[in-house]
Chains A and B, each alone.
Chain A
Amino acid sequence: MSDALAPAIRIAATRRVTEEAPLTRYLLIGVAVAFLGLFLLLPLAVVFTEALTKGAGAFFATFDEPDARAAIRLTLLVAAIVVPLNAVFGICAAWAISKFSFPGKSVLITLIDLPFSVSPVVSGLVYVLVFGSQGLLGPTLSSHGIQIVFAIPGIVLATIFVTFPFVARELIPLMQEQGTVEEEAALTLGASGFRTFLTVTLPNIKWGLLYGVLLANARAMGEFGAVSVVSGHIRGLTNTIPLQVEILYNEYNIVSAFALASLLAGLALVTLGIKTLLEWRYAGQIAGRRRH
């Protein structure tokens, strides 16, 4: 008994006053690791193992399906439209907010953050209320042969909505910290406004911009709720990858569902990898981890 206690006492004697007893420490680490393993790592592992249960052949066969290919194409198309638009918006908003002082700024920032506090389903719903057959503009537009909801434009709009704040909220605090001194120097030296932005501001914010774009892209490609409301679920036409995953899963086509899902899980892992790399390497040049 006393033999077993001896090492613990020795460690306790050399322990700093700002540390917990080793046993408490191991217990806490154990709880955290078990919890993260159970809630985060297991689900992730399930995606890849379920995708490969019937071997690599069945896995790759999923991607030969025309509907799956159409879904992948649509997802890439939507991201290619949405992410640049929101990046340009984010840069403009951050420029106006961080380089100038004007009344009502905090209201503007709150409004830009608004989409994050709206449920994805509600984000989709508001577009149905505007562009749906009983909506404000829907009947007028459809009489001109223009369809927004249950078609690709609706998917693009809903995706813009849910990814709206990503770039802006990353750049605003970053550019506020950087101030206006460097830009003013460039301007006094005779550079044009646009040249100042390209050669002074952009290099200062490039990692932050990349960070915001990365997160916006991950969300744009993976958005489910909002897109689900406005898509109409037409196979081969208005199904993005997440919607196709849902359809395959509900048809008990488990291997294909998880194979497509593993594509998105891979994207998530790559996103997390680059994000972590940016946080380590360029911690000072991204606002990062404030809050999501």
Chain B
Amino acid sequence: MSASTQIVKRKARSFPAPSVIPGFRATFGFTLFYLSLVVLFPLSMLVIRASELGLAGLYGVAVEPRVAAALRTSFFISFAAAAIDVVFGLVTAWVLTRYEFPGRRFLDAIVDLPFALPTAVAGIALAALYAPNGWLGEPLADYDIKIAFTRWGILVALVFVGLPFVVRTVQPLLAEIDVELEEASATLGASRAHTVWRVLLPPILPALLTGFALAFARSVGEYGSVIFIAGNLAYISEIAPLLIIVKLEQFDYAGATGIATIMLAISFAVLLAINLIQAWSQKRFGHV
């Protein structure tokens, strides 16, 4: 008894907690060193440059009309794309986990395509597909619908990019739901639609929100798959990441830093939101 209390006491003092396993200092040291060198040091450079600008400077960059327009474009279209992904991602995840049909496993595997396909390849493929002479662009042009080289093109590219985030966040939860809950609901007289709406969907809501946040965060920063189909007209179809590159090419480092800092702040806000959603979900449903 006294020996175990001693261990507990030592645990509080030593770093790491005592263990017979060797190699902590080497692996932990290398981890910290490599992390600092490759990630933390360069990122802190951005923070330092941004603090040199100061809040007033950052605000000045943000309200510059072209920057404001680009941020708005990125923000709103990413939001819309993530919303579309939530709807179709839920249907896709539902179909893939609940139904058996020929080609299901193939479709399940292909959902990850946006993760695996390089963004530039996706970009030129989407541009070719929706261009006025493309497979989809040509028939759509007959109805006077233009996708490529407009804001709709950005939306299409961002829907592509964000889809797997929603599907892969929702899918494991759908697979784990206890069938007995649904049976109970049905025996109590609920219609199938009612069961789905009141029994199945609520526990999935946090996952849907997380998927939405992940898709949104990814979309705001997305570059490669968007620029080929966007048209990139300043004030209209220019996304924030592209404007960073434009600023860099003009050697406007302050402007580039400003936009990057704002985007980074958005990412962190989204990360925080995801953590809050998961904490809430843990409390409400007992799962993440």
Contact = CB atoms under 8 A, between A and B. Distances in A.
Interface stretch (B59-67, B263-271, B279-287): B263-271
B76 interface: no
Nearest to A93: B31
A33 B92 CA distance: 8
Interface string B22-66: 111011101100110011111101100100000000000000000
Nearest to B275: A110
A211 interface: no
Contact of B17 (A100, A254, A289): A100
Nearest to B47: A126
- The DSSP consensus for interface residues of chain B is helix
Interface stretch (A23-31, A62-70, A202-210): A23-31
| Main DSSP-derived SS at the A contact region | helix
B145 interface: no
Interface size class of A (residues with CB under 8 A): 35 or more
Contact of A125 (B26, B30, B108, B244): B244
Interface string A147-175: 00000000001001100100000000000
A89 B128 CA distance: 39
B260 A122 contact: yes
A99 B19 contact: yes
Given A96-B27, A125-B46, A134 B253 contact: yes
B223 interface: yes
B245 A118 contact: no
State the 9 A-B residue pairs at the shortest beta-carbon distance, nearest first: A119-B221, A222-B118, A193-B22, A17-B186, A224-B224, A102-B16, A225-B223, A126-B42, A100-B16
20 contacts: A33-B107, A35-B91, A40-B114, A42-B135, A47-B121, A92-B26, A100-B16, A121-B244, A126-B260, A128-B253, A129-B257, A164-B38, A180-B19, A183-B21, A187-B20, A258-B124, A261-B118, A261-B121, A276-B109, A289-B172
Interface of B: 11, 15-17, 19-24, 26-28, 30-31, 34-35, 38-43, 45-46, 49, 88, 91-92, 94-96, 99, 101, 103, 105, 107-126, 128-129, 134-136, 156, 159-160, 163-165, 168-169, 171-172, 179, 182-183, 186-187, 192, 196, 214, 217, 220-224, 228, 241-242, 244-245, 248, 251, 253, 256-257, 260, 263-264, 267-268, 270-271
